[in-house]
Structure 1
């Protein structure tokens, strides 16, 4: 996936004035996710099925860090 022209958007659930953000870019059937604090760092790339599964788990609270 060529991310050189990717349009990244921040999560609507970002906190801290944009300093604790997850950014997402979609490219065809793939989705990329990165930490906005480290845009040159690691990027997760997943297909549409994995993306839907991740969103379902996030919405269900599977990854909530605060009780």
Structure 2
């Protein structure tokens, strides 16, 4: 968690929701937790995702949990 936050800071990103269970799903299914990250602008989010520090962490996330990023 600490490593993720340090990748967000340069882009103004912060967690709005982290690990909250999906209590109510009005359509379809959501079999897990919810994570929402906010950025000041779309460009910041794209720059963060493509940044070298975050790219280095992606294998840690994908090896330890299933999920989609959108």
TM-score normalised per structure 2: 0.30
Scaled by the length of structure 1, the TM-score of the pair is: 0.31
Q: Which has the higher strand share?
A: 1
Structure with the larger RCO, 1 or 2 (CA within 8 Å, 6+ apart): 2
